[in-house]
Amino acid sequence: MEQTDYMKKIEEYGGDILVSEGMLSEKQFVQHGTTTTYDHSVAVTEMCLRLAKKFHSKADERTLIRGALLHDYFLYDWHKPHGHLHAFRHSKKALENAARDFELSPVERNMILSHMFPLGRFPRYRESALLCIADKICSLRETFHRKKPAPAQTETSEK
């Protein structure tokens, strides 16, 4: 499946989340490197769908998409006042915000709460396990694949 097909599916099942005020506010927060929390959440959702396909998982696509889109719905800049406690606390805050703004199923709740496993809750459903893996893959990529700086001009290059 192409990336555009995954995006179509994400829009189909999570369109209301993507255009919500809370989710759009994630565009101003940097998650890792140069990636915003919004872009990270969409990338993790796409990775969940890819992994589900690869592992022939019977995960429910709608649940997988909605839980993944909301997994980092903590809605603050974690680099500033929250510091080192962010890793331990943000899944709880994300669930609190997501439950306030959207209708959540028990599986979606567990997905959000357990995505930092082994920190925090145990992933009890296949959707939760997929999210946990997808989040770690994307986080590592975003942390280490920063854009390379433009090459410095050398004195001989313009002759």
Q: Which residues bind Fe ion (CB under 5 A)?
A: 72, 135
CB of 7 to Fe ion, least distance (A): 18
CB of 107 to Fe ion, least distance (A): 17
CB of 121 to Fe ion, least distance (A): 13
Our CB check for Fe ion shows the closer of 35 and 63 to be 35
Our CB check for Fe ion shows the closer of 107 and 132 to be 132
Our CB check for Fe ion shows the closer of 72 and 127 to be 72
Tokens found for residue 39: 């872009």
In degrees and rounded to multiples of 5, residue 145 shows phi and psi of -95, 60
- The DSSP letter of residue 28 is G
Give the contacts of 128 (CB within 8 A, at least 6 positions apart). 67, 107, 110, 111, 114, 115
Helix 106-114 crosses helix 61-69 at what angle (to 10 degrees)? Answer: 40
Our CB check for Fe ion shows the closer of 7 and 137 to be 137
CB of 33 to Fe ion, least distance (A): 13
**Exposure of 151 by Cβ count < 10 A (0-12 exposed, 13-18 middle, 19+ buried)?**
exposed
